A and B are shown apart, each in its own frame.
Chain A
Amino acid sequence: MSEAIKTFFSPSVLGPEIFYGSSVALFLIGLYMVLVKKNLVKIAIGLTFIESGVNLFLISIGYVWGKTAPILNKTLMMGTPSKEVVDPVPQALVLTAIVIGVAVTAMALSIVIVIHDKYGTLNISKIKELKW
């Protein structure tokens, strides 16, 4: 099964561009949601889409086709680890970025709750008491 998936995603079929392509797609979907949707929750979800897009982009930068995760185990220790694993730095970065993303989303949603309490609506065009 995993063999089949590996073949399907092999460079000869789709190429590593699929990761870049899908990260751009995620980014654009998120941007669309943020710019077009009026509902605050949907906008917050859009923000997480944008973040996921960027995170995916970051991961795919460090990904080297056909190599394993940068976890040091016995098999790796036998050969030359640096040649058999993908770049570990982006993965560390993405871990951090994901955590930050969660914090932002949590913050956004908690503010949305307060806004819903006070304004009774989630429509962003109606929440403009502060202006000019």
Chain B
Amino acid sequence: MMKLLYFIGCFSGGALLAFLLGSFSPLLKKFITFLAVILGAVLFATMGTSTYQLSLLFGNQVIFGIDTLTQFMVWMTLGIAFIVSLVLWSHSELSPTFFALFLLNVLGTVLIFMSRDIVSFFFSWELMSWTAFGMILSDGWEKKRSAAVKYFMWSAAGAYMVLIGFSILFAATSAIRFENIVMSVGRVSHGWLITAIAFLVAGFGVKAAMMPFHVWAPDAYSESPHPFTGFFSGILSKTGVYGIFIAFFYLAARLEAVPMLRVHGTSIFGYIMVWIGAITAFGASLIAVHQEYGKKLLAWSSVSQLGYIIFAFGIADSLGMTGALSHALAHALFKALLFTILAGVIMRTGTDHMASLGGLIKRMPLSFIFAVVGGLALAGIPMTIGFTSKWIIYEAGINGGYIFPTTLIFAASTAAFLYYYRFVYSIFLGPLHEEHQNVKEVPATYWISYILLAIPIFYFGLYPGKLVGIISTILQSYNLPALTTYTATSVTTPLGTFNGMVVGLGFGAALIVGLIVYFIGGRVRKAASQTDKYLAGEVVTNEFELHYSVDFYRFLERKLSWLLKISAQKFYEFIGELIRFVADINRKMFFCGNGQAYLYYMTIVLTILILSIWRIKP
């Protein structure tokens, strides 16, 4: 009880102090934030696995509990939060409000993972949502307006869908604790249960950027304050994943028994999610390939990676669950790394427009190396955590017999190579721009955070059994199917065994051979300067952008233009237009400004109601 209050007090008190004192000295706000995150982590470490009760509403107890899944998610959250608070040392330009909201946001996220009843869950959920909006707002606004409003609108819509789902469960079971809901879920009729699960999954799906609810995510990720984006895309989206997990665990299992709802050997929800996840992963990668801006590219990549997780959750056997949870961690790690690197690039050069960058390897070699590390993990190359998780997901897809969705997932991985190549090549390789001649390497806080993120990426890549072990403990504690045969370096799945260490070291050796060849051959290469352009006799005007990063994948774009035209965005814009139209009619009718018309309305209402008296049976 007290420990939980200390934990909450640590973050909220830190937020208050950062807000009040932050305007006096920039050092103070950074220090308070940093300290609060560390203190919070220490407090959390002392809490162990336990349950806490708080008397909040009508004397009812709201429950917060910590189990193995909570620990997994919270350590992930606090870890990335620590990275962000470290990086924030180099960002005095952010307002005290930002620091305060960041702490509240971390608190909200952690409380989501800890909450064990509807009230505290929804409270934490909304806290997490609006503080993220506040952070986007606090960091300048002018060009971010539509992104921020879109984010806030979608997250409200998602939260409200969750609320409806929860309230249906409450109305049917009269229980607010998750455990009590599970106990009496047998009393809920199938119709209501399906409605509730549909609302819950859709609501959580908004946060997890599931197609067709993904439209807010690329804009919001790319417009959020740069140091925070890693947390935003890496952790906040995981709350949606977590929500889907508990919705499935607590509720959907009961529907398994209904034959009508079973498709392909799994519940219909799982089947739908497999498809949605695969389409999200594939579609978002294709869009990511065509992005001009680095943050947009990574944002779309996030949507795509979340699609993998949803795909794996939908399969819902031992491989699927393990794959989903391990990819959740993997995505959080490498996306935080990539976004932090990009934040460093933006801090030094002031832009993430890839055509305006290039050749930064000469000025920021450290960033380049870690960008490669992040990219390896993103593309699922052996010896990184990305390989472990993606491999398990592939196996899950194959093992489950989902031929088409798995093909889409493979295709998405190929596309991931393409956009990752574009990302690294446009920013770090090629000729250096003149205005970036004096760019410096990122400050120490940045590269320390790179190293801190790279360690688990490699560790879990080389020792996949460690990760699978943690996840198996979690799944077993929830009585879910889990992978049980594993050593530190190898994991046995229904399809065979893979050894992360062997594959990783083999790949590493190949990489070193490649590097040696490159450096030996590199003696004869000659870097062209930015001004050397081969025009083949054609005279071009100044407006024509000749940079190699412009239209990087034009050939792909031509081939796929028909696919890219299918856009959920247009549908939502149509809905928006419709609502605006209705709103204007409503406004001009009921508030037309003529006092006499108001009296008419009153008389009409009175007449209708009086006439209807004879129809009302009291």
**Interface positions of A (Cβ within 8 A of B):** 31, 34-35, 38, 43, 124-125, 127-132
> Interface with A: B60-68, B220-228, B473-481, B595-603, which one?
B595-603
Of B587, B588, B596, the residue contacting A124 (CB under 8 A) is: B596
Q: How far is the CB of B381 from chain A (nearest CB, A)?
A: 60
Residues on B with beta carbons closer than 8 Å to the beta carbon of A125: 594, 596
Residues on A with beta carbons closer than 8 Å to the beta carbon of B592: 128, 131-132
A34–B599 touching, CB < 8 Å: yes
Q: Is B593 an interface residue (CB 8 A)?
A: yes
Give the distance in Å from the alpha carbon of A8 to the alpha carbon of B587 in the complex: 55
Residues on B with beta carbons closer than 8 Å to the beta carbon of A127: 595
B603–A31 touching, CB < 8 Å: yes
Residues on A with beta carbons closer than 8 Å to the beta carbon of B593: 128-132
Q: Is B548 an interface residue (CB 8 A)?
A: no
Q: How far is the CB of B280 from chain A (nearest CB, A)?
A: 41
* Interface set, chain B 183-212, CB cutoff 8 A to A: none
Give the distance in Å from the alpha carbon of A34 to the alpha carbon of B606 in the complex: 15
Residues on A with beta carbons closer than 8 Å to the beta carbon of B600: 35
Give the distance in Å from the alpha carbon of A43 to the alpha carbon of B594 in the complex: 13
Which residue of chain B has the shortest Cβ distance to A47 in the bound complex? Answer: B599
The interface bits of chain B over 474-504 (1 if a CB of A lies within 8 angstroms of the residue's CB, else 0) are 0000000000000000000000000000000
Give the distance in Å from the alpha carbon of A43 to the alpha carbon of B600 in the complex: 13
A128–B603 touching, CB < 8 Å: no
Which residue of chain A has the shortest Cβ distance to B590 in the bound complex? Answer: A132
Which residue of chain A has the shortest Cβ distance to B584 in the bound complex? Answer: A132
Closest 5 CB pairs of A and B: A131-B593, A128-B593, A124-B596, A132-B587, A128-B594
B591–A35 touching, CB < 8 Å: no
Give the distance in Å from the alpha carbon of A127 to the alpha carbon of B603 in the complex: 21
Residues on A with beta carbons closer than 8 Å to the beta carbon of B588: 132
Query: Counting chain A CB atoms within 10 Å of each CB, which of B587, B591, B594 scores highest?
Result: B594
Give the distance in Å from the alpha carbon of A132 to the alpha carbon of B587 in the complex: 5
Give the distance in Å from the alpha carbon of A68 to the alpha carbon of B303 in the complex: 86
Which residue of chain B has the shortest Cβ distance to A38 in the bound complex? Answer: B596
Q: A132-B587, A132-B588 are in contact. Are A35 and B599 (CB under 8 A)?
A: yes
Give the distance in Å from the alpha carbon of A125 to the alpha carbon of B599 in the complex: 13
Give the distance in Å from the alpha carbon of A34 to the alpha carbon of B595 in the complex: 10
Query: Counting chain B CB atoms within 10 Å of each CB, which of A129, A130, A131 scores highest?
Result: A131
Give the distance in Å from the alpha carbon of A128 to the alpha carbon of B595 in the complex: 8
Which residue of chain A has the shortest Cβ distance to B587 in the bound complex? Answer: A132
Q: A35-B600, A35-B603 are in contact. Are A132 and B591 (CB under 8 A)?
A: yes
Give the number of residue pairs across the A-B interface with Cβ within 8 Å: 30
In the complex, besides A130-B593, A131-B592, 18 extra interface pairs with C-beta distance below 8 angstroms are A31-B603, A34-B599, A35-B600, A35-B603, A38-B596, A43-B596, A124-B594, A124-B595, A124-B596, A127-B595, A128-B592, A128-B593, A128-B595, A129-B593, A131-B593, A132-B591, A132-B592, A132-B593
Q: How far is the CB of A129 from chain B (nearest CB, A)?
A: 7
Give the distance in Å from the alpha carbon of A124 to the alpha carbon of B596 in the complex: 7
Give the distance in Å from the alpha carbon of A128 to the alpha carbon of B591 in the complex: 10
* Interface set, chain B 566-612, CB cutoff 8 A to A: 587-588, 591-596, 599-600, 603
Give the distance in Å from the alpha carbon of A125 to the alpha carbon of B593 in the complex: 9
Residues on A with beta carbons closer than 8 Å to the beta carbon of B594: 124-125, 128, 131
Which residue of chain A has the shortest Cβ distance to B606 in the bound complex? Answer: A31
Residues on A with beta carbons closer than 8 Å to the beta carbon of B591: 131-132
Q: How far is the CB of B493 from chain A (nearest CB, A)?
A: 64
Give the distance in Å from the alpha carbon of A131 to the alpha carbon of B584 in the complex: 12
Residues on A with beta carbons closer than 8 Å to the beta carbon of B596: 34-35, 38, 43, 124-125
Residues on B with beta carbons closer than 8 Å to the beta carbon of A35: 596, 599-600, 603
Give the distance in Å from the alpha carbon of A2 to the alpha carbon of B402 in the complex: 102
Which residue of chain A has the shortest Cβ distance to B594 in the bound complex? Answer: A128
Q: How far is the CB of B179 from chain A (nearest CB, A)?
A: 52
Give the distance in Å from the alpha carbon of A34 to the alpha carbon of B592 in the complex: 17
Residues on B with beta carbons closer than 8 Å to the beta carbon of A131: 591-594
Residues on B with beta carbons closer than 8 Å to the beta carbon of A43: 596
Q: How far is the CB of B591 from chain A (nearest CB, A)?
A: 6
Give the distance in Å from the alpha carbon of A64 to the alpha carbon of B593 in the complex: 46
Instruction: Sample 9 A-B pairs with CB under 8 A, ordered by A number.
Output: A34-B596, A34-B599, A43-B596, A125-B594, A127-B595, A128-B592, A130-B593, A132-B587, A132-B593
Give the distance in Å from the alpha carbon of A11 to the alpha carbon of B594 in the complex: 45
Which residue of chain B has the shortest Cβ distance to A132 in the bound complex? Answer: B587
Residues on A with beta carbons closer than 8 Å to the beta carbon of B595: 124, 127-128
Residues on B with beta carbons closer than 8 Å to the beta carbon of A124: 594-596
Residues on B with beta carbons closer than 8 Å to the beta carbon of A34: 596, 599
Give the distance in Å from the alpha carbon of A38 to the alpha carbon of B593 in the complex: 14
Q: How far is the CB of B271 from chain A (nearest CB, A)?
A: 49
Q: How far is the CB of B104 from chain A (nearest CB, A)?
A: 38
Which residue of chain A has the shortest Cβ distance to B588 in the bound complex? Answer: A132
Residues on A with beta carbons closer than 8 Å to the beta carbon of B587: 132
Which residue of chain A has the shortest Cβ distance to B595 in the bound complex? Answer: A124
Which residue of chain B has the shortest Cβ distance to A130 in the bound complex? Answer: B593
The interface bits of chain B over 341-378 (1 if a CB of A lies within 8 angstroms of the residue's CB, else 0) are 00000000000000000000000000000000000000
Give the distance in Å from the alpha carbon of A43 to the alpha carbon of B603 in the complex: 15
Give the distance in Å from the alpha carbon of A124 to the alpha carbon of B592 in the complex: 12
Residues on B with beta carbons closer than 8 Å to the beta carbon of A128: 592-595
Residues on B with beta carbons closer than 8 Å to the beta carbon of A31: 603
Residues on A with beta carbons closer than 8 Å to the beta carbon of B603: 31, 35
Give the distance in Å from the alpha carbon of A127 to the alpha carbon of B599 in the complex: 15
Give the distance in Å from the alpha carbon of A31 to the alpha carbon of B606 in the complex: 12
Q: How far is the CB of B588 from chain A (nearest CB, A)?
A: 6
Give the distance in Å from the alpha carbon of A127 to the alpha carbon of B592 in the complex: 11
Q: How far is the CB of B600 from chain A (nearest CB, A)?
A: 6
Which residue of chain B has the shortest Cβ distance to A125 in the bound complex? Answer: B594
Give the distance in Å from the alpha carbon of A43 to the alpha carbon of B593 in the complex: 16
Give the distance in Å from the alpha carbon of A129 to the alpha carbon of B599 in the complex: 18
Q: How far is the CB of A116 from chain B (nearest CB, A)?
A: 15
Give the distance in Å from the alpha carbon of A95 to the alpha carbon of B189 in the complex: 61
Residues on A with beta carbons closer than 8 Å to the beta carbon of B599: 34-35
Q: How far is the CB of A104 from chain B (nearest CB, A)?
A: 15
Give the distance in Å from the alpha carbon of A43 to the alpha carbon of B595 in the complex: 11
Give the distance in Å from the alpha carbon of A124 to the alpha carbon of B603 in the complex: 17
Q: How far is the CB of A118 from chain B (nearest CB, A)?
A: 15
Q: How far is the CB of A126 from chain B (nearest CB, A)?
A: 9
Give the distance in Å from the alpha carbon of A72 to the alpha carbon of B370 in the complex: 102
Give the distance in Å from the alpha carbon of A35 to the alpha carbon of B599 in the complex: 7
Give the distance in Å from the alpha carbon of A116 to the alpha carbon of B362 in the complex: 78
Give the distance in Å from the alpha carbon of A21 to the alpha carbon of B596 in the complex: 26
Give the distance in Å from the alpha carbon of A130 to the alpha carbon of B593 in the complex: 6
Give the distance in Å from the alpha carbon of A129 to the alpha carbon of B588 in the complex: 13
Give the distance in Å from the alpha carbon of A32 to the alpha carbon of B485 in the complex: 87
Q: How far is the CB of B590 from chain A (nearest CB, A)?
A: 10
* Interface set, chain B 102-147, CB cutoff 8 A to A: none
